[in-house]
A and B are shown apart, each in its own frame.
Chain A
Amino acid sequence: MTLTADTSPGTARGTARRWRERLLSGGSWTVLALLVVVLAVIVVINPSFAEPVSLMAFAKKAAPLVVLAVGQYFVIVSGEFDLSVGSLVGAQVVIAARLIDGEEALTWPVLGLMLAFGLLVGLVNGLVTTLLRVPSFIATLGMMLVLFGAIRLWTGGAPTGALSEGFRVLGRKGFPDVPGQFQVPYALLVALVVVGLAVLVMRRPFGRSLVAAGDNDVAATYSGASVWWLRTRAFLLSSFLATVAAVLIGGYAGVTAQVGQGLEFMAITAVVLGGVALGGGRGTVVAAMVGALALEALFTLFNQLALPSTIRPAVQGVIIIVAVAYAARRRRT
């Protein structure tokens, strides 16, 4: 939170003012307020949404975006972008389906392969950006196209094969695993673990150095940081989490030719909505998570209003511009 000299703690008016500033600051409190408002509107329209089963269904659906947003957060806070995560999710799901092809015994070996492939993509993104000095916007845009094209080429345009039941457990099932009963989706647990670990990582020297590098990479370099390696690790984390998201999405939605499409922009929108500054140096993991939930809630609201799903990209575009403009306005003052 920013420093506000004129707030007097203790008095009711001071408290009210402090909250107003928090909520309008454009940081995590603002997006949290937005999330609460959107959820409240959904409940008003459709009171059954407030029931635990519906909320859990919402969490299950939102979990992959939360995981992707956390990955994107690492990259954005270090001052870069990762546009390749959507294609990577698509590629991973298609690879998994084709290689596993319904064979339960292949689940673990293929997961290992996906992990290696994800890390390779992250490493290439990171090294091309830092060592070859290609702006990450271009480097990851290129990676996005390469992955997209390579998968088309490999599958001949239509994905084949099938995921094993074991593969789909994380994205589809929950605890306790009794049909018809209330259950906590595994996807929610995965997302919470990811967020929890990310919060811890950001409190470690690595996390602080990453934000400092995003804030001022010259100062970070002159303080002895290896900025190239910090950023490369951020890309590795992003690709790793995209792989995790691929497992959740594959389990939840199965294999289609469109899987993963547009997820990179959803993740970036979520992060920006959470008040994480583009260009780096400002914002928290929790804010990115809340941004993802708010975006997902907004889409749920559109469903409730029976708006066509084709409106989503337009809304997302407006959100991303408004959120960045709001942040810019805040920084000017």
Chain B
Amino acid sequence: MQLLVDIGQKVPTLVVMRADDDAHTSSPDPVLRLRGVGKEFFGTSVLREIDLTLYPGQVHALVGENGAGKSTLMKIIAGVHRPDTGTIELDGPAVTFPTPLDAQRAGVATVFQEFNLLPDRSVAENVYLGREPRRRGLVDRRRLHADTTRLLDDLGLAGIASWTRVGSLSVAQQQVVEIVKAVSYDARIISMDEPTAALADQEVALLYELVRRLRDRGVAILYVSHRLQEIYDLADTITVLKDGNHVLTAPAAEVGPDRLVRTMVGRDFAGFFPDKPADAVPGEVRLALAGAGNTMVDDIDLEVRAGEIVALAGLQGSGRTEIAHGVFGIAPFTRGRMTVDGQPAQVRTPRQGVRHHLALVTEDRKSEGLALGQSVLANARLVLDAVLPRASDRRSRRIAGVLSSLEVAPSTVAAAQDTEVQYLSGGNQQKVVLAKWLVTEPRVIVLDEPTRGIDVGAKRAVYDLMRTLTADGTAVLLISSELPEVVAMADRILVVRDGRIAGELPGGSDEAAIMALATGAA
């Protein structure tokens, strides 16, 4: 038990190597410096003792797994969050940014993943939104467009016209407009959160060009990305975060991809996961996809056998969830074949999915899994009520049995009837979601991030449940961003990248090998 409590607070065993100032003797004075920055949310520490130094004219890559704290750190720099500990120094003296606007005025711009553009307005109107040049109280359109055109020309973006409607631009061009907007504030520091996440490969060149141009103009760039290729193409320095800790800062040239990946994932989780039963042999094929695809994913071949746990690993947005949605009929496959227990299965809606004895525990339990204002019991019988109403009446005792075997917090049936799910903890809510599927006795269960945002005790309960399910012959398809979970629980690991299956690895594989496949470094 002691071990469980330690998870997440474990200090990585890797040697912490920090680039000292004299490693950058060729550089001028730092423009932005973070010292010992830490942040807590609701008593959970998400960042601890982060040091980060940005120099003008340099690209600094910030990397780490999902949940490592990159976004939080970016938001602290952007003035969205205020650090609980540590200081931010801008050109020497310590500063605070009470609001994002203060950061922007100080020359610190941030380009977030979600675009903040008005699609029906022109490029110029978007760039100068809220601070349009005025003449006699009215917007001076001529100057607005002249200023924007000058800015675009300066950045070598003559291909984008200032009057173009933003909605008619390509995604890459829209991303560029976001950056131009940042530059228009005379930003000396620009941080970018996965600027290429939404871009196709051929569009990335436009962004590269812009980043290099900004760097040459002396802007300090903080570049968050999952794609290793990009990091080595652009970055001068790399900082790695892991579980909220600062584990490495080094010149990009000195850290090879292997070591980088290893640094990102390395940790010690031994003993936390229930062991695989030694004598288990997977049974018949329960779920099979052959060449399945739709607009989001393609060429998906996979098999999950009775008693087997197959994991879909990959980065966020790689298409893992989309595969689950295809299987379950939320966004049905339009190509390829799917069979359940050897029978061809047409699953066009979740209702048909349930009828084929499939179950999907969705990624976001609050918005997709639960009716929060209803009781624990009502939620536990949600699927039966909706699809198998007769069984719902018959299986009352079974429903109660499942709830008690999962040790859901309101422990009596009466309490389960009276307690609205919204008042439960995340872990208990997740158990209610699991219960609503278990009472249908599924043959294939898809678990999308089943342990996200729940405490260690509930995590362990989910892992134990997975072992119980497979012992009973259920096929489990596990989607998870937590690599230790994937490695320890899965019999086989399929790595998804860009909507396709990039490769397969056996259970217990090296986390670094998974990351390499997921990022395309391999």
A168 in the interface (beta carbon within 8 A): no
B330 close to A (CB within 8 Å): yes
Segment at the A interface, from B123-131, B155-163, B234-242, B377-385: B377-385
Give the chain B neighbours of A3 by CB distance below 8 A: 418-420, 423
Contact of B350 among A204, A209, A222 (CB under 8 A): A222
CB < 8 Å neighbour of B351 from A205, A224, A282: A224
Q: Tell me, yes or no, whether A304 is within 8 Å of chain B by CB.
A: no
A248 within 8 A of B: no
Contacts of A155 on B, CB cut-off 8 Å?
Answer: none
10 smallest CB-CB distances across A and B, nearest first, come from: A205-B389, A225-B386, A215-B371, A205-B385, A224-B354, A224-B387, A212-B371, A224-B351, A223-B382, A223-B383
With a cutoff of 8 Å between Cβ atoms, the chain B residues found around residue A222 in the complex are 328, 330, 350, 360, 362, 368-369
Chain A residues with Cβ under 8 A from B71's Cβ?
none
Q: CB < 8 Å: which of A1, A218, A224, A282 contacts B386?
A: A224
Binding site for B on A (CB under 8 A): 1-3, 204-206, 208-209, 211-212, 215-216, 218-226, 277, 281-282
Question: In the assembled complex, how far is the CB of residue A9 from the closest CB belonging to chain B, in whole angstroms?
Answer: 13
Is B393 engaged at the interface, CB distance under 8 Å to the other chain?
A: yes
Task: Please tell me if B404 contacts chain A, counting CB pairs below 8 Å.
Answer: no
Given A2-B420, A225-B386: A215 in contact with B381 (beta carbons within 8 A)? no
Question: Are the C-beta atoms of B382 and A226 separated by less than 8 Å?
Answer: no
Q: Would you give the shortest CB distance from B440 to chain A, in whole angstroms?
A: 9
Chain A residues, Cβ within 8 Å of B385: 205-206, 208-209, 212, 225
Q: Which of B44-64 contact A (CB under 8 A)?
A: none
- Chain A CB within 10 Å — which of B367, B370, B386, B392 has the most? B386
Chain B residues with Cβ below 8 Å from A212 are: 371, 374, 378-379, 382, 385-386
In the complex, A222 Cα to B368 Cα: how many Å? 7
Q: A247 to B436: give the CA distance in the assembly, Å.
A: 43
Q: Within the assembled complex, what's the spacing in Å between the Cα atoms of A315 and B215?
A: 67
CB contact under 8 A between A224 and B383, given known A205-B393, A206-B389, A208-B378: yes
How many angstroms between the C-alpha atoms of A206 and B389 in the bound complex?
8
Given A221-B350, A226-B351: A215 in contact with B386 (beta carbons within 8 A): no
Tell whether, in the assembled complex, residue B374 and residue A211 are in contact, meaning their CB atoms are under 8 Å apart. Answer: yes
B353 located at the interface, meaning its Cβ lies under 8 Å from any Cβ of chain A in the complex: yes
Chain B interface extent, by class = 35 or more
Q: Chain B residue with minimal CB distance to A204?
A: B389
A281 nearest CB neighbor, chain B only: B373
Q: Is B372 an interface residue (CB 8 A)?
A: yes
Q: How far is the CA of A218 from the CA of B368 in the complex (A)?
A: 5
Assess whether A205 is in contact with B418, with CB atoms less than 8 Å apart: no
Known contacts A2-B420, A3-B420, A215-B374; A220/B386 CB under 8 A: yes
B325 to chain A, nearest CB (A): 9
Beyond A3-B418, A211-B374, A212-B382, whether A219 also contacts B387 by CB under 8 A is no
State whether A219 and B423 are in contact (beta carbons under 8 Å apart), knowing that A209-B385, A211-B374, A224-B383 are contacts in the complex: no
Q: How far is the CA of A218 from the CA of B384 in the complex (A)?
A: 16
Bound-state CA distance A159–B367 (Å) is: 51
Chain A positions within 8 Å of B379 at CB level: 212
28 cross-chain CB contacts under 8 A: A2-B420, A3-B419, A205-B384, A205-B385, A205-B389, A208-B374, A208-B378, A209-B386, A211-B371, A211-B374, A212-B378, A215-B371, A215-B374, A216-B367, A216-B371, A219-B367, A219-B368, A219-B370, A220-B386, A222-B360, A223-B436, A224-B349, A224-B386, A225-B386, A226-B351, A226-B386, A281-B371, A281-B373
**Closest chain B CB from A22 CB (angstroms):** 13
Contacts of A220 in B (CB 8 A): 371, 382, 386
Within 8 A of A (CB), among B361-415: 362, 367-374, 378-379, 381-387, 389, 392-393
Contact with A along B202-232 (1 / 0, CB 8 A): 0000000000000000000000000000000
Give Cα distance in the complex from A220 to B420, angstroms: 16
- B419: shortest Cβ distance to chain A, in Å? 5
CB distance from B391 to the nearest CB of A (A): 9
Given A211-B374, A222-B369, 13 more contacts at CB 8 Å?
A3-B423, A205-B381, A212-B378, A212-B385, A216-B370, A216-B371, A218-B367, A219-B368, A219-B369, A222-B362, A223-B387, A224-B354, A281-B371
